[in-house]
């Protein structure tokens, strides 16, 4: 009892290092931003950077420090209300669309809050014996994966917010090397099989990836790479946004109502098509995978191209044996990159791939008990599954069984298209 | 060439009889209604009776008479615009939410239009040789099934419209025998199996029931009957409409926004719970299956009851071997009825059963070519599949492979709940 | 015959005749309409013909028969709720935008209701002695003037409703003689003066025309006639609907949002400008006064033309000495007609004239006591005064002191423009 | 120093000092605010502090420096688009409701912009000869009065924005002395008279205060002071917010829809009524004039109290002979203060007084030529006139003929109530 509280156990030490690395990446993402940038909220679905930084910290305070660290005193008791996002079981929440109306606490105060919680977490993780460590480890892992999700949102939300500025400011200036031409795509064959779907093994996963279960797949083919911007331009030039027969009924209504003419952030100028990126305004590069398309656009494109979207099961089966490698947030390109040649490429990174699967529970699915059980299950309606991560996702956050989900009209994520066919 | 065009072939004769029977049922459904009733439109999703009567007739005129009957002259050329509902390939359509603003043509003129088209159809069907008959038969069958769908909508839409009238007028007065008490429900077991899903055989089906294909089902159980109003009352009394943890996130938002406290048409009065029916205001009968619940309510009830909704594949597998028998529109009860004892009951009739399956295409699905191809495929997004038909469905319209679909918040159909569990 | 209660007094007799004449005109207005027409409601501000017929009858039942006729039994007690429009003091009201959703009572039942109340009113008016008659006379007069207002609304509301029908049905077919060319307009001078404004004398007036009071007018000029459709076409052709500098800020926003390009009911076709009238689709006649313009359009036209709208005091001063003559509903032209030559014309009839005066109370204004006090005063905000009556107004309904009022964007009344200048 | 172009003329010198004083006050108002505060926009009608600081600067750059200062180079050419508010004649404008989405330029860059323009203005004003000075003086005066209007908006907009923060942050902490009890109000009599209305004399005025003209006033009385919070509490306690008969029809609908229960910023807590002020949350002080009420509430209160609102002419006549003294922004109380005893008090300062007058043009009104002519005239519709200035107005900005105007539902200004009666 004496030494176990002072000598950090090996498991806790590793967890602490991971904690510090992941948490540090959030701060790094905020570095290019001014206090004013960090307060921007451009739509109800997006949140200010400052809010992301505080909310992820609130998670560790609420679920780890408050119940587990003796003597922990909340540095800012009001933050419980301000930075609870949707956990009904924890209490009421500040109105989501009004998050951009909070100027105080300032960004500096939020960073102080992060430091205080990080110190508390260090104390907690260093003080745990092996037994307690294995008890809290799952929640810390959940908190870190939660933080990584918000890291991606920091990028997609600030991109959306800055896009309203007619000066087209860059999130950060960065040289992007000229894109190589896109390789031709080929079809990769898959045989009929009963396959196992869902997370397997020891590592972390979200509850929606479980239970692992068997699914019967009929024969199918997947394209060897993502649809490129050049291919998508052909769709536009062939009247893709003017032909209702290519679209789902609700998609066509959305297209008309939102006056979609191209992917989000594309604009036609005198010099041709341009796109707003995290590095400012740049030409549309034909070889780069198209990003920022909705499910409706992905579905319409696939119909136009004579294919379809894959189911999430087909996708997972194809990805299960591949290494998790690709163009992720760590590269700091923060934009999709042309596919390299050969084989089945770009399954991980570059762009989240819309699947035709409506987001629902796996057989015998049970949400985690307690407040963290609100994480996934209650959103299993009217959303579509995306797979594989994007150029704004951390590489160690994603895996073959990972299920992302967004409503069909959503376009502000780095979402793209891969063709399938039967 | 001489006799074949004048002697009706046996196939066409049968088709003509069916044509006359189905078409006659539409007129019969309209009989209790005044010209003013027939013009009511109470929401954009519902249509006036008069419009249903005209639109179904337009289908036969447009797809059968115009291309096939020599010398056919449209009795009212403007009806093409007024009564085209959503076939983009046929041309522009009159604004859907404004259908209730059309007082002319009158109901009488629409009935005249029906008669003219029915005469044309009789001439067409009597004049066809065997070869031509087999060519047009699928379209006539499609038209008749289309008409049957609109017959159900005539009932659900007029119920919705009359419910706005504070005098609670009955669609038609009819003695309803007092309900017997509900039998206890039991669980019926199903083994793991690879099953065939989708329509098989010769008869008519919609394109969304094809292709027939194999699906792997894991073991599951189905409740022997539909959830009764009495059981649903327990859910209400247990705070079902006040507890967010029972609901999908979008469901809970809808519940709050729409101020749902009970199924559509239920109202609490001094004498207890009452419900508006096609026979006027009546007490809620505990033994009758609950109807007019949304997907969100069905899902929340199932969670509360410790079960779940079935997938559409589980449902179809369970129903495939059962006869299509039950409480259908032909009984003219036009309300759900208590289950009889024993076995797996009420799969057909009484209430459409919400499944947990998002409405999507079967593997290798291809819409029918031409305008009729707009019938199903373009709605395969953000809708949930319902199975089995209701007390407002014609018995010969439904079958085990039949897929109905509505958005999750829809409540004006006779939609109910059957529990499943893994 | 002997006693004062059985011999009708001379005053009551006259009142009864007027009652019958005014009430009969409502029925006459409904004659060209089918039961389906009479149920149309095309926007929340408009009401079905059937509702107008019932609501005006409800007024007599509620304010005259119920309190004054011994033994009166309401033929339809539920009508109190259904046909109360806005008298909070009388009780709750059926939702205004849902009036078109009431198919029962039928038009025939409403006409029966009118007959029952008319018989009651006859009994009441015949049974009153002189003393009682002078007590109830003001309320009967109010009821008849109220009915005349709704007669005008019957015409404007059915015109609006029928305009949604792509078949452009006529309210009633009527030969309209070709319009004579418009005479040139001239300016009529008025000197500075302190004038009396408001109703004077014995006859009926609404409470908003009182008290009569003095107002100082500075010198001004009025145009000798209404602005013609031909003149308004010049405004359109000069970019009137594309130049924000001609418009009030709120007017311009409304113009953009509503996509106004011309007066309501005008449409450009291959044969030139056409207008939907109560007689169906007709060419725009340059000599006829323009009608169906909003306050915003009237104001913008006046600015374009180098003039302004008159104040309601200037208008009343100009009209005070003129006879109430013009193109009224009795002519059954039901459309504006070209001005005749000479002097100050068209002040009465043809088109309600927008004034620049916001609708407010006269000094020392007091609403009538009781429920009828809700008639006018509570609307004195964000509305503009119109003067003089239109081709849909009864001649004996209007007078120089009469104040009509509508919100600035309203266009479905027969509202037109007369220029003034200082 | 010798020639007329290098020696500043006496008139220009005075103007420069005024320029520096007024411009300096804007910076002083921004001092308590962080960069994040200065970016807040809480509704489309309000703007960020940063925007106010930039837009007022844009005015001087666009209308003074660009046309008049040789060699002037815009420091930030894009600001013309970003900070033009509504001058259609100057060009397109950035979307008003999105002003809070502009994080760059930062607050610091906007202050740099102010400095650059201030230096330019100093050079311009010092370089002008007498003749040119008298030409540009009116525009400089307009710019400074424009700036003072935005100074008031800086205060009312930041108050509105901070009120969304559940931490109730103070704009700036300041000791407010306890309020003295309110003196009883008395009625002050005014005789019938023809009075002159509108600006007279040499000093600056807006175009909407002209031309001066005669108006006939009937006898009236004004209350000696503003309605106090204590008196307004009696209205609340007497059911003022529950009784439709006290309200204008549109006011009642607004009250229900917005769920008004008290003035904006009032909240009932366990310790009684509190109000959010620029100094944070404070108790409601009965002696202080009520502020932050809409026209609808002012009108309902007056009806409840047996009085009415004054016309703007009555108000101006009463105020014309009084000195412009009272509780203005210079006192930095930034909240209303109890009336002192005796005579007609509080006409200036404390609270803008709603009048019953709809905002319209004076006889023979002509907007100023050019872009600055868009300042006033185009808003003369559906707004009500307020008079006298408030505790957030600069004293040298207001005068007896000054006409402020807001739509009837507006509550975020320091708007209050004075009773009148005939």
* Residue % of chain C over a pLDDT of 70: 94
The verdict on D97 touching C (C-beta cutoff 8 Å) is no
| ipTM confidence score | 0.92
The verdict on C69 touching B (C-beta cutoff 8 Å) is no
Q: C247 vs D88: CB contact, 8 Å cut-off?
A: no
Q: Which of B86, B356, B422 sits opposite A364 (nearest CB)?
A: B422
Q: Find all residues with CB under 8 Å of C179, minimum gap 6, and list them.
A: C285, C286, C287, C288, C337, C338
What residue of D is the nearest CA neighbor of A159?
A: D101
Q: B40 vs C165: CB contact, 8 Å cut-off?
A: no
Residues of chain A with pLDDT under 70: 1-13, 86-91, 178-179, 371
Q: Which pLDDT band, with edges at 50, 70 and 90, does C43 fall under?
A: very high
Partners of C381 on chain D (C-beta within 8 Å) are 248-251, 295-296, 299, 408
Residue B130 has pLDDT above 90, yes or no: no
Partners of D94 on chain A (C-beta within 8 Å) are 166
Paired sense of beta strands B415-416 and B352-358, if any: parallel
Residue B5 has pLDDT above 60, yes or no: no
The verdict on C106 touching B (C-beta cutoff 8 Å) is yes
pLDDT tens column, C124-140: 999 988 888 888 999 99
**Mind telling me how many Å the CA of C350 is from chain B's nearest CA?**
28
Give me the mean pLDDT over the B72-97 stretch: 78
Size of the B and C interface in Cβ pairs below 8 Å: 78
* Separation CA D210–CA D201 (nearest Å): 11
Q: Which of A216, A249, A296 sits opposite B379 (nearest CB)?
A: A249
Residue C10 has pLDDT above 70, yes or no: no
* Separation CA B145–CA B56 (nearest Å): 10
Partners of D104 on chain A (C-beta within 8 Å) are 34, 36-37, 165, 167, 169
**Mind telling me how many Å the CA of C142 is from chain D's nearest CA?**
21
**Mind telling me how many Å the CA of B105 is from chain C's nearest CA?**
9
Residue D30 has pLDDT above 90, yes or no: yes
Number of residues that this document lists for chain B: 422
User: Collapsing DSSP states into helix, strand and coil, what is residue D232?
Assistant: helix
What residue of C is the nearest CA neighbor of D247?
A: C378
Whether B and C touch (3+ CB pairs < 8 Å), yes or no: yes
Q: Which of A36, A81, A164 sits opposite D36 (nearest CB)?
A: A36
Q: Which residues of C330-352 are buried (b: 16+ CB within 10 A; e: fewer)?
A: eeebbbbbbbeeeebbbbbbbbb
Backbone phi and psi for residue A214, each to the nearest 5 degrees, phi listed first: -90, 145
| Positions of E strands within C237-307 | 266-269, 272-277, 280-283
What residue of D is the nearest CA neighbor of A93?
A: D166
Q: Which pLDDT band, with edges at 50, 70 and 90, does C90 fall under?
A: low
* Separation CA C337–CA C354 (nearest Å): 18
pLDDT tens column, D79-126: 878 888 766 666 677 888 899 999 999 999 999 999 999 999 999 999
Size of the A and D interface in Cβ pairs below 8 Å: 76
Mean pLDDT value across chain B: 92
Tokens of B284: 């809620």
Partners of A38 on chain D (C-beta within 8 Å) are 36
Residue B6 has pLDDT above 80, yes or no: no
The verdict on D216 touching C (C-beta cutoff 8 Å) is yes
pLDDT tens column, C310-347: 999 999 999 999 999 999 999 999 999 999 877 899 99
User: How confident is the model at residue C88, as a pLDDT?
Assistant: 61
User: Collapsing DSSP states into helix, strand and coil, what is residue D22?
Assistant: helix
* Separation CA A30–CA A154 (nearest Å): 8
Residue B26 has pLDDT above 50, yes or no: yes
Cβ neighbours of C152 (radius 10 Å): 24
Residue C417 has pLDDT above 50, yes or no: yes
Q: Which pLDDT band, with edges at 50, 70 and 90, does B2 fall under?
A: very low
Q: A249 vs B86: CB contact, 8 Å cut-off?
A: yes
pLDDT tens column, D274-301: 999 999 999 999 999 999 999 999 999 9
Q: Which pLDDT band, with edges at 50, 70 and 90, does B4 fall under?
A: very low
Place of tokens 């370089």: D127
Residue B313 has pLDDT above 50, yes or no: yes
Q: Is the peptide bond prior to D211 cis by the omega test (within 30 degrees of 0)?
A: yes
The verdict on C1 touching D (C-beta cutoff 8 Å) is no
The verdict on C360 touching D (C-beta cutoff 8 Å) is yes
* Separation CA D185–CA D306 (nearest Å): 14
**Mind telling me how many Å the CA of D44 is from chain A's nearest CA?**
13
Partners of A40 on chain D (C-beta within 8 Å) are 101, 103
Per DSSP, D63 falls in state: I
Q: Which chains touch C (3 or more CB pairs under 8 A)?
A: B, D
The verdict on A82 touching D (C-beta cutoff 8 Å) is yes
User: How confident is the model at residue A9, as a pLDDT?
Assistant: 46
* Separation CA D204–CA C301 (nearest Å): 32
C-alpha distance from residue C101 to each of A193, A256, B38, B108, C82 (Å): 56, 30, 11, 20, 11
The secondary element (H helix, E strand) that includes residue D222 is: strand D220-223
Q: Which of C36, C161, C162 sits opposite B36 (nearest CB)?
A: C36
Per DSSP, C202 falls in state: S
Partners of C110 on chain B (C-beta within 8 Å) are none
Interior CA angle at C382 toward C294 and C366, to 5°?
A: 125
Q: D214 vs C216: CB contact, 8 Å cut-off?
A: yes
What residue of C is the nearest CA neighbor of D244?
A: C88
Residue D127 contacts residue D13 (beta carbons within 8 Å): no
List the single best residue of B36, B75, B157, B165 to mutate versus C (max C Cβ within 10 A): B36
Question: How many alpha carbons fall within 13 Å on the CB side of residue D389?
Answer: 29
pLDDT tens column, A329-361: 999 999 999 998 778 999 999 999 999 999 999
Partners of A247 on chain B (C-beta within 8 Å) are 378
Whether D and B touch (3+ CB pairs < 8 Å), yes or no: no
Residue A418 contacts residue A351 (beta carbons within 8 Å): no
Q: B216 vs A218: CB contact, 8 Å cut-off?
A: no
Q: Find all residues with CB under 8 Å of B198, minimum gap 6, and list them.
A: B209, B210, B211, B212, B213, B362, B401
The verdict on A172 touching B (C-beta cutoff 8 Å) is no
Q: Which of B158, B139, B164, B150 shows the shortest CA–CA distance to B114?
A: B150
The verdict on A364 touching B (C-beta cutoff 8 Å) is yes
Partners of C98 on chain B (C-beta within 8 Å) are 164
What residue of C is the nearest CA neighbor of D311?
A: C363
Place of tokens 């808003």: D379
Instruction: Name the CA dihedral angle for D252, D257, D263, D269, rounded to a multiple of 10 degrees.
Output: 130
Whether B and A touch (3+ CB pairs < 8 Å), yes or no: yes
User: How confident is the model at residue B315, as a pLDDT?
Assistant: 98
Q: How far apart are the first and last CA of chain B?
A: 62
pLDDT tens column, D40-86: 999 999 999 999 999 999 999 999 999 999 999 998 888 878 888 76
What residue of B is the nearest CA neighbor of C169?
A: B104
Residue D5 has pLDDT above 50, yes or no: no
**Distance of alpha carbon A135 from the chain centroid:** 27
User: How confident is the model at residue B131, as a pLDDT?
Assistant: 86
C-alpha distance from residue B102 to each of A399, B51, B98, C49, C220 (Å): 57, 9, 8, 14, 48
User: How confident is the model at residue B7, as a pLDDT?
Assistant: 41
Question: How many alpha carbons fall within 13 Å on the CB side of residue B412?
Answer: 19
What residue of C is the nearest CA neighbor of D421?
A: C364
């Amino acid at each position: 009892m004496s030494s176990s509280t002072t000598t950090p156990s090996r498991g806790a030490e590793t967890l602490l290092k991971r904690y510090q690395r992941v948490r540090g990446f959030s701060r790094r993402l905020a570095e290019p931003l001014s206090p004013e940038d960090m307060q921007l909220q451009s739509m109800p679905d997006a949140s200010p950077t400052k809010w992301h930084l505080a909310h992820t910290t609130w998670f560790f305070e609420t679920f780890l420090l408050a119940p587990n660290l003796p003597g922990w005193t909340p540095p800012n008791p009001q933050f419980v209300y301000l930075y609870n996002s949707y956990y009904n079981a924890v209490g009421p929440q500040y109105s989501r669309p009004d998050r951009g109306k909070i100027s105080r606490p300032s960004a500096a105060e939020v960073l102080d809050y992060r430091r205080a919680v990080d110190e508390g977490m260090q104390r907690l993780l260093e003080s745990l014996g092996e037994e307690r460590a294995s008890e809290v480890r799952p929640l810390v892992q959940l908190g870190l994966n939660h933080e990584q999700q918000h890291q991606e949102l920091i990028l997609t939300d600030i991109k959306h917010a800055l896009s309203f500025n007619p000066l087209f400011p860059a999130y950060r200036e960065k040289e992007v090397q000229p894109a190589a031409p896109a390789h031709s795509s080929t079809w990769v064959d898959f045989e009929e099989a009963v396959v196992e779907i869902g997370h397997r093994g020891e590592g972390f996963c979200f509850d929606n990836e479980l239970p692992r279960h068997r699914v019967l797949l009929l024969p199918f083919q997947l394209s060897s790479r993502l649809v490129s911007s050049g291919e998508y331009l052909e769709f536009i030039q062939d009247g893709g946004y003017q032909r209702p027969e290519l679209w789902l009924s609700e998609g066509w209504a959305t297209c008309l109502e939102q006056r979609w003419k191209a992917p989000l952030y594309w604009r036609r100028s005198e010099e041709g098509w341009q796109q707003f990126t995290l590095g400012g305004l740049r030409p549309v590069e034909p070889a780069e995978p198209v990003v920022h398309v909705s499910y409706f656009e992905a579905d319409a494109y696939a119909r136009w191209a004579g294919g379809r979207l894959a189911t999430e099961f087909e996708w997972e089966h194809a990805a299960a044996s591949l290494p998790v490698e690709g163009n992720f947030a760590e590269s700091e390109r923060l934009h999709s990159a042309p596919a390299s040649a050969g084989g089945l490429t770009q399954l991980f990174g570059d762009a989240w791939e819309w699947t035709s699967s409506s987001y629902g529970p796996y057989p015998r699915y049970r949400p985690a008990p307690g407040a963290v059980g609100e994480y996934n299950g209650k959103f299993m309606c009217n959303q579509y599954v995306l797979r594989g991560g994007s150029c704004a996702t951390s590489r160690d956050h994603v895996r073959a069984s990972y299920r992302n989900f967004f409503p069909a009209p959503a376009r502000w994520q780095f979402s793209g298209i891969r063709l399938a066919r039967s």
